[in-house]
Structure 1
Amino acid sequence: MLFGHHFAAIAGAGPLVGPVLAAQMGYLPGMIWILAGVVLAGAVQDFMVLFVSRPAAMAVRLANWLKRRWDRPLASRRWWPAL
């Protein structure tokens, strides 16, 4: 198990990974791992949980954003039947 990464496979192992990594590798790599894990992995996980937990709201928001973005170029829809 390279660099103690096997602890990351445990659900809720955040309090275990940081101290074990700091004991194995030193204070600075442990601190970098904690900060990078919190900022990058934690933020991505939280965003994905939010996205999955409210799929209808996110889908409507995305549809409205796409509609606003494409309505300007296609504002004159009179030419659609001509296609």
Structure 2
Amino acid sequence: MSNAWNQTHRMKRLAVGPMTTPEYNEWWKLEVEKLRKRKNKAKEDLDSLKTDYKKLRLSMRITGLGKTSEQWHEEIREEKNKADRWERKF
């Protein structure tokens, strides 16, 4: 019984060793490099998008497009009041 266990154990140990070829190692290095380049490109694209978003938010704030609905309602009320005053005046 213990002899059978030793044989199985030895076979497992043989199968665990490195099973790659030099060609596979070279291919894997190339794949890793491709992935690294894609990751860097994605990071650059994300940074560019963040910059564009900040510029857009700034321009929206400057032009007033970034107001909340409550701010718009308040501005409309003010404009209506101004129009009413002008109508009463003339």
For the superposition of Structure 1 and Structure 2, which TM-score range results when normalised by the shorter chain? 0.3 to 0.5
Higher relative CO (Cα under 8 Å, sequence separation at least 6) belongs to: 1
Q: TM-score, normalised by structure 2?
A: 0.37
Q: TM-score, normalised by structure 1?
A: 0.40
Question: Larger C-alpha radius of gyration, 1 or 2?
Answer: 2
Structure with the higher helix share, 1 or 2: 2
